[in-house]
Amino acid sequence: MSAKKDDTRLIIFDTTLRDGEQSPGASLNVEEKVEIAHQLSRLGVDVIEAGFPIASLGDAEAVSQIAKKVKGPEICGLARCVKGDIDVAWNAVKHARKPRIHIFLATSDLHMEKKLKMSRQQVLDRIGDMVGYTAKLCPNVEYSPEDAVRSDFDFLVKAVKTAIGAGARTINVPDTVGYGIPFEFGHTIRRLIDEVNEPSVIFSVHCHNDLGLAVSNSLAAVRNGARQVECTINGIGERAGNAALEEIVMALNTRKDFFKLETGVKTEEIYRSSRLVSRLTGMAVQPNKAIVGANAFSHESGIHQDGVMKNRQTYES
């Protein structure tokens, strides 16, 4: 089973339970992860990345329990381009009605040389072999070229084409260290989609917030053809966090005139989801946080108060 492309709809891929839980200080047990996953299902996300099964026995168990118990969204497990990772991920997600495996291998020269100690050709060979291996287990395969934004563009194209040729049906472009700038990132996504020229493939983005631009970069990518966004509740995640689900969804909802896209998210469940994740992770939501912060719909200025009392739209979009 693989995702179907619909140019009128944006797929919301929630990685709160995987990348979000990697936030320094955040830790969830199996029961808490299952509770959040049930709420994400009520929220209406399309995909739940439930964890990184090879990381620990607890993570593998959490992904397996979510796959067995949570209905509605696709249930995804993350894996490196390593057979052992992929086997453990498949054993965890195979219980789901709609399983997905998300595998990644870096494509930037920095990562290949300093971290992987692999040549470009070795990376291409590994991508082809491991995507092909994964596709035999789980036809719904997503591939991410880690550190894509800092990768040589021509090599990035080769890596993506290799993954698609081996069976990947979703290509996720990560801004792994939050390096991208919206205009530049959007342009890169458009170039990549045009160069690869595979209309049935879903292009996705996963943006980090190191420069405070994760949501802006994600929306720039959507404007340029991306049809899946990877995001987290409250924007939690590694370092400065990920693109915030609530901000992306409400930007699309508020500016339908501009984006002309729908999501399956039930907006009335956003606040409940935010508070549940905050309570279970112990990560407080800053008061001025967009959409879900305590001050998001509060007004101090007398001029603002007067306007809102007459018509809320005067100072609330």
Phi, psi (degrees; rounded to nearest 5) at 77: -120, 140
Residue range 187-203: mean pLDDT, rounded: 98
pLDDT at site 299: 46
Average pLDDT of the chain to the nearest whole number: 94
Residue range 52-72: mean pLDDT, rounded: 97
**pLDDT band of 4, cuts 50, 70, 90:** low
Selection from 160, 101, 93, 94 nearest residue 133 by Cα:
101
Residue 302 has pLDDT above 80, yes or no: no
Phi, psi (degrees; rounded to nearest 5) at 21: -70, -15
Residue range 177-194: mean pLDDT, rounded: 98
**pLDDT band of 24, cuts 50, 70, 90:** confident
Phi, psi (degrees; rounded to nearest 5) at 198: -125, 90
Please name the residue that has the structure tokens 């595979």. Answer: 198
Lowest-confidence region among 13-27, 70-84, 131-145, 169-183: 13-27
pLDDT at site 1: 44
- pLDDT tens for residues 261-301? 999 999 999 999 999 999 999 999 999 999 999 886 664 55
Residue range 296-312: mean pLDDT, rounded: 61
Q: How far apart, in whole angstroms, are the C-alpha atoms of residue 90 and residue 138?
A: 7
- Adjacent-strand bridge partners of 102: 78, 142
pLDDT at site 294: 86
Residue 305 has pLDDT above 60, yes or no: no
SS3 of 156, please? helix
- pLDDT tens for residues 107-120? 999 999 999 999 99
- pLDDT tens for residues 207-252? 999 999 999 999 999 999 999 999 999 999 999 999 999 999 999 9
Show the domains of the chain with their CATH numbers. 11-285 (3.20.20.70)
Q: Are 232 and 267 in contact (CB under 8 A)?
A: no
Residue 138 has pLDDT above 70, yes or no: yes
**pLDDT band of 7, cuts 50, 70, 90:** confident
pLDDT at site 233: 98
pLDDT at site 27: 83
